[in-house]
């Protein structure tokens, strides 16, 4: 019997099997021996131990399309990166790090600015411009006023989407609205664990439609981008691409070099100055990390 892991906690894995429900499973010892840990989002094969109690064993992890380190998850189609317009104010450097983390895994990202009711239209347009100008799809929502929910639903349909962002931006409020009454089955897990449905301590998959999953994750206040060399960073800013090779120096990293096409584009307003500031800040941080290593 095959299904998808929708939550893993304390050595138990909850597997959603189409038309059969959710099974509470333990992983076979072979996974520990092979040092392969089942992840939320894994498509797996299980053996049923008790159909009435819905218990079983994980016996095989099917091939993964991709794998995220933080949050630990597999087989993600896209990311919905949620930040607040206000309360808390958006940390654009942190937002860039979420985007870069997804870029490293070749997972497309959609940016959602929640709590739109707390800002004026002019400010909202300015925030959107920072990221829409470099090719990202940007949504404006208000969980409080239930605005923008239908647009998110259309984007999620038929996909497994990881929801990411810092604490306090309204991820759980949006998730509750998106989930609605579609997936009462996930409540089975909460009953067993005696916890609320959306007190997010671990990554978990929530069903929001047929073959449509939301991967809710704990909030982050900081994020370390794994395995990034400072010279690679520029390739994760898509708006730089058309200027690569147009600088005076080959291998220009677009920070201190003279006659830099990227810096010129920033001055001319072709690249948003906020994004460029984020890039320079992150580059200098990676440079300091490199110094400490050596």
The three-class DSSP label of residue 179 is helix
The three-class DSSP label of residue 254 is coil
DSSP state for residue 199 in the 8-state scheme: -
Is 254 among the annotated ligand-binding positions?
yes
Is 128 among the annotated ligand-binding positions?
no
Is 114 among the annotated ligand-binding positions?
yes
CB–CB of 220/69 below 8 Å? no
Is 166 among the annotated ligand-binding positions?
yes
Short-list 143, 205, 139, 145, CA closest to 176? 143
Q: Kindly state the average pLDDT of the residues 276-287.
A: 95
pLDDT at 126 over 80: yes
pLDDT confidence of residue 220 = 60
| Domains, the chain | 2-61 (2.40.50.140), 67-216 (3.40.50.300), 230-293 (1.10.40.50)
The torsion angles phi and psi of 133, rounded to 5 degrees, stand at -70, -20
Is 260 among the annotated ligand-binding positions?
yes
CB–CB of 182/207 below 8 Å? yes
Please tell me the pTM assigned to this model.
0.81
Is 247 among the annotated ligand-binding positions?
yes
Is 173 among the annotated ligand-binding positions?
yes
Is 170 among the annotated ligand-binding positions?
yes
Confidence band, pLDDT 50/70/90 cuts, at residue 9: confident
pLDDT at 290 over 60: yes
Is 167 among the annotated ligand-binding positions?
yes
Is 3 among the annotated ligand-binding positions?
no
Q: Kindly state the average pLDDT of the residues 117-133.
A: 95
- CA–CA gap between residue 119 and residue 273 (Å, rounded): 21
- CA–CA gap between residue 177 and residue 55 (Å, rounded): 30
- CA–CA gap between residue 192 and residue 77 (Å, rounded): 29
Is 169 among the annotated ligand-binding positions?
yes
- CA–CA gap between residue 263 and residue 273 (Å, rounded): 9
pLDDT tens readout for residues 18-72: 889 999 999 887 777 777 889 999 999 999 999 999 999 999 999 999 888 767 8
């Amino acid at each position: 019997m095959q299904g998808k892991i929708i939550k893993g906690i304390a050595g138990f894995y909850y597997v959603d099997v189409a038309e059969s429900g959710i099974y509470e499973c333990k992983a076979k010892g072979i996974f520990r021996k092979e040092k392969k840990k089942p992840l939320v989002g894994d498509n797996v094969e299980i053996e049923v131990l008790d159909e009435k109690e819905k218990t079983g064993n994980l016996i095989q992890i099917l091939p993964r399309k991709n794998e995220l380190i933080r949050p630990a998850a597999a087989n993600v189609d896209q990311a919905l990166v949620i930040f607040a317009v206000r309360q808390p104010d958006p940390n654009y450097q942190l937002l860039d790090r979420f985007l870069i983390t997804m870029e490293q895994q070749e997972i497309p990202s959609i940016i959602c600015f929640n709590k739109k009711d707390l800002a004026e239209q002019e400010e909202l347009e300015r925030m959107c411009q920072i990221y829409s100008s470099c090719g990202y799809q940007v949504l404006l929502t208000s969980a409080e006023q239930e605005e923008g929910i239908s647009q998110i639903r259309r984007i999620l349909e038929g996909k497994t989407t990881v929801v990411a962002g810092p604490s306090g931006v309204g991820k759980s409020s949006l998730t509750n609205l998106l989930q609605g009454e579609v997936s009462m089955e996930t409540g089975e897990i909460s009953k067993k664990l005696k916890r609320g449905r959306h007190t997010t301590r671990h990554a978990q998959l929530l069903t929001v439609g047929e073959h449509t999953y939301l991967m809710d994750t704990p909030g982050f206040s900081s994020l370390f981008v794994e395995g990034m060399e400072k010279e690679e960073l520029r390739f994760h800013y898509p708006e730089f691409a058309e200027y690569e090779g147009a600088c005076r120096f080959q291998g220009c990293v677009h920070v201190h070099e003279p006659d830099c096409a990227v810096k010129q584009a920033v001055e001319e307003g072709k690249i948003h100055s906020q994004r460029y500031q984020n890039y320079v800040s992150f580059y200098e941080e990676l440079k300091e990390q490199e110094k400490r290593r050596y």
